[in-house]
């Protein structure tokens, strides 16, 4: 079906009434274009496919909320899908990009830092912990606070941004750079 002949509003209203064929028609009409839009945002094909799938599920369940007087049906579909993609992108960016084993070792070492008995009985572990402590001390104050809040206190990046009264993007950058600096320092 060509774009000009497809009635998006009728398809959405039919979905709201429970007509599955309308959802299928809508899928046939828009899935490839929606996939292109979502892929452009996420740059990850598997995740983009998942988001488009989720978008059509949401279109099916939320079509009852569509109001023609507020905008075009096609615009509503694209806005819904784009928002899902942006949420996924934001969620993925919150995840710290670092070697998982490095993070596990970092956490283990930080949590064991205060166990003096263990430190005395295991000189090699003490050396590793002292190295980590020295590397952490080389970080600037803001970066050090971010790392400690994230990996000792268990705060999310959003919580750290609020706690430090700092933009979220800045906190993410501090954490990413700090982890890279710690990794380099410990190697």
Polymer length in residues for the chain: 187
- 44/126: higher pLDDT: 44
Predicted local confidence at residue 96, as pLDDT:
44
The contacts of residue 171 (CB under 8 Å, 6+ apart) are: 146, 157, 160, 161, 164
Return the minimum-mean-pLDDT range out of 34-38, 75-79, 176-180.
Answer: 176-180
Q: Residue 125's pLDDT is what?
A: 56
Give the residue among 174, 94, 103 at the shortest CA–CA distance from 139.
174
**Which of 94, 116, 144 corresponds to the end of one domain?**
94
**What's the pTM?**
0.50
- Give the integer Cα–Cα distance in Å for 146 and 177: 11
Residue 3 lies in a domain: no
pLDDT tens digits, one per residue of 140-178: 888 888 888 887 777 788 888 888 888 888 888 898 888
The C-alpha atoms of residue 120 and residue 124 are separated, in whole angstroms, by: 10
What is the C-alpha to C-alpha distance for residues 175 and 88, in angstroms, rounded to an integer? 20
Q: Do residues 82 and 145 share a domain?
A: no
pLDDT in the model for residue 110 = 53
Asked if residue 163 and residue 108 are part of one domain, the reply reads yes
């Amino acid at each position: 079906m060509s774009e000009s002949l497809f009635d998006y509003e009728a398809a959405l209203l039919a979905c709201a009434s429970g007509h599955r064929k309308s959802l299928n028609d809508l899928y046939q009409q828009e899935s490839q274009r929606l996939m292109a839009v979502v892929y452009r945002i996420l740059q990850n094909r598997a995740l983009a496919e998942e988001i488009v799938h989720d978008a059509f599920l949401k279109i099916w369940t939320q079509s009852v909320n569509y109001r023609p007087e507020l905008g075009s049906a096609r615009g509503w579909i694209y806005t819904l899908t784009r928002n899902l993609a942006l949420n996924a992108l934001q969620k993925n960016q919150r995840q710290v990009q670092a070697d998982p084993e490095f993070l596990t070792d970092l956490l283990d070492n930080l949590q064991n830092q205060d166990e003096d008995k263990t430190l005395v009985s295991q000189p090699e572990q003490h050396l590793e912990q002292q190295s980590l402590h020295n590397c952490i001390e080389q970080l600037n104050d803001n970066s050090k606070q971010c790392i400690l809040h994230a990996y000792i206190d268990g705060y999310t990046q959003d919580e750290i941004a609020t706690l430090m009264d700092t933009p979220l993007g800045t906190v993410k950058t501090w954490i990413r750079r700090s982890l890279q600096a710690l990794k380099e320092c410990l190697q």
